[in-house]
């Protein structure tokens, strides 16, 4: 069933682009989706993340709050600049997830928020480098990004790859069990 989600989503996008559901549009969509699956084998892979709709709702609500609050803060800085409000800096923030998707979503959400800009995303060790307007405490920036990452992880949970699972050595029968 999971293998049908990506092709069905692609077909739905195809039909939305054409603006109507007709036999010709469905047939051509099935043909295009089939070609994409043949030409782009990555689309056939099993998903590496589990999507949680309620978690995504929380991310969107949090983004709305951050947009309003940071917009007000930037407006205040523009209308009444002070050295403290104009102080900016760059903060490296470690991420607890090594998922490229999670890092990308976190970086995009940071950049969408006025007064902050993601400068770099690193994979080893996983971290984002953020430019902040009105920087007074780098630790508070790290805490906010950690909260944001936790919200994103509630929305798109990485699925553990089989090769990432610990190897359990077979027992030789000696020893105790609890």
Q: What is the pLDDT of residues 77-124, one digit of tens each?
A: 999 999 999 999 999 999 999 888 899 999 999 999 999 999 999 988
Q: Which domain holds residue 62?
A: 49-159
* Continuous segment of H or E residues that includes residue 132: strand 126-133
Give me the residue label for tokens 């295009």. Answer: 32
- Tell me if 56 is assigned to some domain: yes
- Tell me if 172 is assigned to some domain: no
pLDDT class of 42 with cuts at 50, 70, 90: low
Together in a domain, 91 and 34: no
Together in a domain, 13 and 100: no
Together in a domain, 61 and 134: yes
Among 145, 160, 147, 153, which residue's Cα sits nearest to residue 52?
Answer: 153
Together in a domain, 151 and 72: yes
Together in a domain, 84 and 143: yes
Together in a domain, 88 and 108: yes
Together in a domain, 80 and 151: yes
Together in a domain, 40 and 70: no
* Number of structural domains the chain divides into: 2
Provide the mean pLDDT of the chain. 85
The two three-digit tokens of residue 151, written as one number: 């919200």
Cα–Cα distance measured from residue 16 to residue 11, given in angstroms and rounded to the nearest whole number: 9
Together in a domain, 96 and 143: yes
Q: How many other C-beta atoms can be found within 10 angstroms of the C-beta atom of residue 105? A: 20
């Amino acid at each position: 069933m999971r293998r049908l989600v990506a092709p069905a989503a692609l077909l739905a996008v195809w039909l939305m682009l054409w603006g109507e559901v007709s036999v010709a549009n469905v047939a051509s969509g099935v043909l295009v989706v089939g070609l994409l699956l043949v030409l782009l084998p990555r689309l056939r892979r099993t998903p590496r993340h589990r999507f949680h709709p309620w978690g995504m709702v929380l991310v969107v609500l949090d983004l709305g709050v951050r947009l309003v609050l940071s917009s007000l803060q930037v407006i205040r800085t523009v209308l009444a600049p002070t050295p403290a409000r104009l102080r900016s800096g760059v903060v490296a923030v470690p991420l607890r997830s090594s998922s490229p998707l999670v890092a990308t979503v976190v970086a995009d959400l940071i950049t969408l928020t006025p007064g902050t800009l993601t400068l770099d995303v690193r994979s080893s060790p996983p971290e984002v480098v953020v430019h902040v307007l009105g920087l007074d405490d780098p630790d508070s920036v790290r805490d906010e990004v950690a909260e944001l990452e936790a919200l994103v992880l509630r929305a798109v949970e990485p699925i553990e790859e089989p090769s990432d699972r610990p190897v359990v050595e077979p027992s030789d029968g000696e020893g105790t069990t609890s």
